Amino acid sequence: MPHTIRIERALLSVSDKRGLAEFARGLAECGVEMFSSGGTRKHLEKEGISVREVAEYTGFPEMLDGRIKTLHPKIHGGILCRHDREDDLQSLQAHGILKFDLVVVNLYPFEETVARPGVVWDEAIEQIDIGGPTLVRGAAKNHAFVTLATSPDQYDGILDAVRNEGGTNLAQRRHLAAAAFAHTAAYDGAIADYFARQLAAKNAAKDQATPALPETWPLNLRRKALLRYGENPYQAAALYERVGHEEPCLINARQLHGKELSYNNWLDLSAAWEVVRNWPAPAVSVIKHNNPCGAAAHENLAMATRRAMDGDPLSAFGSVLAFNREMDAASAEVLAEPDRFVEAIIAPGFAADAVEILTTKPKWKANVRLMELGATPPVADAWHFRHIDGGFLVQQQVAGLDADTSWEHVAGPELDDATRQELRFAWEMVRHVKSNAIVVCREQSLCGAGAGQMSRVDSVEIALKKAGKRSREAVLASDAFFPFPDSIHFAAEAGIRAVIQPGGSRRDAEVIAACQERNITMLFTGRRHFRH
């Protein structure tokens, strides 16, 4: 294969016009002849840059409202010609076809279009590029002889090579070709993803109880950042974002302060935000190793902050926090108190004086990461992916709070509104703790959690031990049914006054009897919340 290929003739057809005029002007100064059509030609001519009209060269006009411009043998022959094949060169000469040494193409803004609210099907379909991907694939395939630019970020490197060497070397062209194939793969993936989501939504509308899962599911991801390492220092890691996912979310959050986020920070920020994002009142969560060790809701955000941090003060040291309201100065003052240490905080926003406090007062002020989400809606129905060996599990994401209309009062004194609200808070918290999960809550604060134990009774004992004296008159939630009444015995001894659980055990009658005997109120939700 040849090494350096001189660039004497270029074809330019782009949707994204950033930097195009400067690039084309530099090519013209180097004597490169340029061909273009449609909006690209008009843009360059408006900038005073001379280009040849594609239609004039091919002898075939643009048609079908611009759907056909570059789909012509005189274009693709010039791109796909192998310069070291005499028969290819003779074919070009016989048909009056010119060689193109440089192709500059990027595609219709399909992803940006479908990300806009209210976009209709026909509007999205018109943004599916046909000629662009064909040009890209042809030039990328023939990269031995053709240089290809698919992003404005590549213009400077190509122009430097033209100015200094007259053209590009093989290594540079291979790099550009690889980027081009990634570009078209992501583009096609975005289209496939849009079709899958639209069809699934239509099917779901027909059968609300069973949302449709598409037969194929393209994962259209783009690397956003290289991380220092993964869960451990010997593991390489990176952060990827879903292409076209423009709405406010964790991965699009703006970092206001602090050092680079680690792999574990990202995981804990996600877990922290999931705990509080749907709670209607101001709420704060405290995450350690992907499990909540504290959480609280209160109309006064500073009070919620204090109660959340006091849920398990020892575990809260070096934790990650989430707020579902803009963080204020009073809450920042709570975190800046002595003997506290916070790794990262995520919130819809941060008051200026809160940022000032957090970045000037605590010992950890220089390192704490402050992540601003912006205006974020509660979680909507979505899909959750989990990687397993050789593939993925996909399940429907739990959306919003559970409705309590089907909850069944099966034991103990009747519920008052305050106790029902306490149980609702506990039931929301337990679904964010790893199974087997038990939480103890009081005054809408998480006092103790038992997570990830092989035995449910072990989780009960851990949660009660963490809560200590705060278990008196507290409530307890379990993510799945109690298989035996022994957990109720432990809860009663600790002073628990009410329990919420799914029910459904063969020994439900024994568990209910244990609650009746000890005057403990119990609710069955009929719905479990395993989190593996």
137 φ/ψ angles, rounded to the nearest 5 degrees: -65, -40
Alpha-helical segments (H) within 312-455:
313-316, 329-335, 352-358, 417-430
Based on the number of CB atoms within 10 Å of its own CB, is 248 exposed (0-12), middle (13-18) or buried (19 or more)?
middle
Sign of the torsion formed by the C-alpha atoms of 406, 407, 413 and 415: negative
Tally of CB atoms within 10 A around 418? 10
255 φ/ψ angles, rounded to the nearest 5 degrees: -85, 115
Interhelix angle 486-494/456-467, rounded to 10 degrees, is: 0
Alpha-helical segments (H) within 62-109:
73-80, 86-94
Active site residues: 141, 289
Q: Do residues 331 and 357 make contact, with C-beta atoms less than 8 angstroms apart?
A: no
Q: Are strands 342-347 and 319-323 parallel, antiparallel or unpaired?
A: parallel
- Could you give the C-alpha distances from 532 to 22, 386, 398, 433, 482, in angstroms and in order? 54, 10, 14, 9, 18
Residue 445 is classified by DSSP as: B
Question: CA 67 to CA 277: how far, in whole Å?
Answer: 45
Question: CA 283 to CA 302: how far, in whole Å?
Answer: 10
Residue 469 is classified by DSSP as: G
- The neighbouring-strand residues paired with 320 are 287, 344
Q: Could you give the 3-state DSSP secondary structure of residue 34?
A: strand
Tally of CB atoms within 10 A around 332? 23
* DSSP of 256-298: EESSPPPHHHHHHHHHHHHHHTT-SS-EEEEEETTEEEEEEE-
Q: Are strands 102-105 and 52-53 parallel, antiparallel or unpaired?
A: unpaired
Question: CA 141 to CA 234: how far, in whole Å?
Answer: 37
